[in-house]
Amino acid sequence: MNILTTLEELVLSGIDTLYSAKADVKTIQFQKTRKEFEGDFTLVVFPFLKMSKKNPEQTAEELGTYLLNNNKNIVSFNVVKGFLNIKLSDSYWINELKIISTDKLFGLKPANSSGKSIMVEYSSPNTNKPLHLGHIRNNLLGYAVSEILKANGHNVIKVNLVNDRGIHICKSMLAWQKWGNGATPESTGLKGDKLVGDYYVKFDQEYKKQIKELTDKGVDEKQAKEDAELIQEAREMLRQWEAGNIEVNQLWKTMNGWVYDGFDVTYKVLGVDFDKIYYESETYKLGKSIVLEGLEKGILIQKEDGSIWADLTADGLDQKILLRSDGTSVYMTQDIGTAHQRFSEFKLNDLVYVVGNEQNYHFQVLKLVLIKLGYNWAEHISHLSYGMVELPEGKMKSREGTVVDADDLIADMIDTARQTSEELGKINDFTGDEATKLFKMIGLGALKYFILKVDPKKTMLFNPQESIDFNGNTGPFVQYTHARIRSVIRKAEEAGIEQYIVGEENIKLSEKEQNLIKLVFEYPNIIAEAGNNFSPAIIANYIYELAKEYNQFYHDHSILKEDNIDIQKFRLSISTKTADIIKSGAALLGMEVPEKM
RNA sequence: GGUCGCAUAGCUCAGCUGAAUAGAGCAUCUGCCUUCUAAGCAGAGGGUCACAGGUUUGAGUCCUGUUGCGAUCACCA
């Protein structure tokens, strides 16, 4: 049984014995003992004063004595004001370490052990332009959250809903037709998504010119935006697409194909993947029948022009259109349909949408409408709403050319990793392939950690001028610590030193050793907490703390040169475990860690 | 205007269900490589936790209000 559970039960029985009172488990608060005091766990005794009818110190003293007498793992306690600090024996911790020492999956729940299936939708790009830094945050979050949910024993289905249809892609298509001269990724050497994105920009430039021509003639701006020939043509193209025009469809397929080839490259470098890819062109008509059914049941309302709405004013929201007067769908309609389809097709317990916080309202409405329509599963929809990535001058604007391109950023990171590694002379004995692999690992590690260490829901700032750090609270720091440990372990193996185990229960642990071993045992809780909160940041901050703690231990103690063989084996063992956890935690963030760096 | 979110060191960020003197990193300054990887370790300075009330034995954390910033409220997605 978990030591904290044991202690909790002991506190309950202690209160019963000492004060003839029944305490609620929820009032028992064990927390980590602060560094400045001696102890492993601290019980806050204030909640029990009413039962003991004594002052905090006395109550803590009595409870401490009770605990000490009733659990052999407790070696001592001390009382500071209303805080009871409890210290467990070194041998307890060492024994615990032994138990997990050969368990490579320590902290992770067995695959599918929870019996729950959770679908995570993420990425969901538009196909008219390349991915940028904002998409990177989405992709890294979606992937990491999926991995964390798996580590919590859930069956996870990662899906991507590609927005492959609509006016935006028609703009690129039209511009390509007009000004492309048959350009292809092959003929230009451009990545497919970049090529298509260039024509999207071209469209916007030409469109603006037309608007200006009109406004110069005295047309007001709003009207000019409507009247401009290009936008008319783009809309006509969308109509033809919907009508199934063969030529338009052919072009659409071709250009989307280029984009997918480009995306695949970016996804592969980022290391994200999907179990299923949905395309809006195949799902955009879903949901219509559900809406009509809702109308029949009187849950939804129809206006005079025939449009169908959900009236959410009673819930403090507005009215929301679900079917236009011409009977066509809006985005919300599709989401209603796809959610329904997914829950029935995959027997989902939960459905998580990784989508930016600009769509908070959308998901609030989606859930509410589904609940009103009577779907019980709607309660199990959640929106992992993440904050925007901003630049020092504010939001990224594609029109102002301030977007940070995903591929460029990744390439920069890898290049910085190369430069830094060369300067530090770290790769002198690496083969070319090994070095290339390492640069990629470090560059991406820096980027991923930088993004994921921030609480998802918060807006984060990225300053392109100050490239992402490689020192301090960073991915490379964590990677370095892993490499450092592995290096010691390799040397131990070469020297034929046994890692495990027997006999070292009686050694005395130093403060650094105690701190490290305690931190190691927090890993399972960290995974659970990260899963409950959909927060990779919790994992990131933990593995940083662990790496930092290890480096202190490493600095103060020698391992291979330690004379006492029991101490040496213990240190080797705790080192191995630390490396395992760093590797495991990093993997949950989609980060790889090197054996050498 | 309505709704929602955010505000912690010069900068970037931690701070889980309230609890001890609010923590890291970067930047600045100072030490530590003939010793298992110095992408490391140690130390110094740096805070009215936006502001004002309230609840509580106890508030950065909960409630109310104010200010500032952001998002959103389309027959857009």
Q: How far is the CA of A318 from the C1' of B4 (A)?
A: 14
- Contact partners, residue A36, CB within 8 Å, separation at least 6: none
Give A26-67 pLDDT, tens digit per residue.
Answer: 889 899 998 888 899 999 999 998 888 888 999 999 999 999
A64 CB closer than 7 A to any strand B atom: no
Nearest residue for B27, CA–C1': A466
Q: What is the DSSP letter of A508?
A: P
Helix (H, G, I), strand (E, B) or coil at A78: strand
Which parts of A470-510 fold into alpha helices (H)? Answer: 475-494
Q: How far is the CA of A313 from the C1' of B68 (A)?
A: 29
Confidence (pLDDT) at A565: 87
Q: What does residue A451 show for φ and ψ, rounded to 5 degrees?
A: -80, -40
Q: How far is the CA of A560 from the C1' of B37 (A)?
A: 14
Helix (H, G, I), strand (E, B) or coil at A31: strand
Confidence (pLDDT) at A200: 93
Which residues of chain A (175-234) touch nucleic strand B at CB < 7 A?
none
Spatial distance between the Cα atoms of A85 and A185, rounded to a whole number of angstroms: 66
Which residues of chain A (33-52) touch nucleic strand B at CB < 7 A?
33-34, 36-37, 42, 44, 46-47
The arrangement of strands across the sheet holding A276-279 comes to A276-279, A155-162, A117-121, A350-356, A381-386
Helix (H, G, I), strand (E, B) or coil at A131: coil
Are residues A152 and A112 in contact, defined by beta-carbon separation less than 8 angstroms? Answer: no
By C1' distance from the Cα of A558, the closest nucleotide is B36
Confidence (pLDDT) at A2: 79
Which residues of chain A (320-359) touch nucleic strand B at CB < 7 A?
321, 324-326, 330-332, 357-359
A152 CB closer than 7 A to any strand B atom: no
Q: What is the DSSP letter of A391?
A: E
Please give the sequence-ordered ranges of beta strands (E in DSSP) within A110-259, or none if there are none.
Answer: 117-121, 155-162
Confidence (pLDDT) at A501: 63
A139 backbone φψ class: left, alpha, beta (φ>0; ψ -120 to 50): alpha
- Contact partners, residue A121, CB within 8 Å, separation at least 6: A142, A159, A160, A161, A351, A352, A353, A354, A355
What b-and-e string marks burial along A492-502, b requiring 16 or more CB atoms within 10 Å of the CB?
A: beeeeeebebe
The arrangement of strands across the sheet holding A319-323 comes to A301-302, A308-311, A319-323
Please give the sequence-ordered ranges of beta strands (E in DSSP) within A171-317, or none if there are none.
Answer: 276-279, 301-302, 308-311
Q: How far is the CA of A583 from the C1' of B11 (A)?
A: 30
Q: How far is the CA of A131 from the C1' of B38 (A)?
A: 38
Which pair of tokens denotes residue A24?
A: 């609620």
Dihedral (CA of A565, A568, A574, A578) sign: negative
Q: How far is the CA of A473 from the C1' of B10 (A)?
A: 19
- Contact partners, residue A248, CB within 8 Å, separation at least 6: A173, A237, A240, A241
Confidence (pLDDT) at A443: 96
Are residues A471 and A477 in contact, defined by beta-carbon separation less than 8 angstroms? Answer: yes
Give A471-493 pLDDT, tens digit per residue.
Answer: 999 999 999 999 999 999 999 99
Number of neighbouring beta carbons within 10 Å of residue A33: 21
Helix (H, G, I), strand (E, B) or coil at A180: coil
Spatial distance between the Cα atoms of A359 and A207, rounded to a whole number of angstroms: 27
Spatial distance between the Cα atoms of A261 and A31, rounded to a whole number of angstroms: 51
- Contact partners, residue A114, CB within 8 Å, separation at least 6: A152, A153, A154, A155
A151 CB closer than 7 A to any strand B atom: no
- Protein-covered nucleotides of chain B (CB closer than 7 Å) are 2-7, 11-17, 19-21, 24-27, 35-42, 57-58, 70-77
**pLDDT < 50 regions, chain A:** none
Are residues A462 and A133 in contact, defined by beta-carbon separation less than 8 angstroms? Answer: yes
- The ipTM, to two decimals, is 0.95
- Contact partners, residue A254, CB within 8 Å, separation at least 6: none
CA distances (Å), origin A470, targets A43, A386, A508, A578, A594:
39, 25, 36, 21, 15
All domains in chain A, ordered by first residue:
3-88 (3.30.1360.70), 117-283+347-395 (3.40.50.620), 412-588 (1.10.730.10)
Q: How far apart are the first and last CA of chain A?
A: 39
Closest among A462, A444, A406, A412 to A130, alpha carbons compared: A406
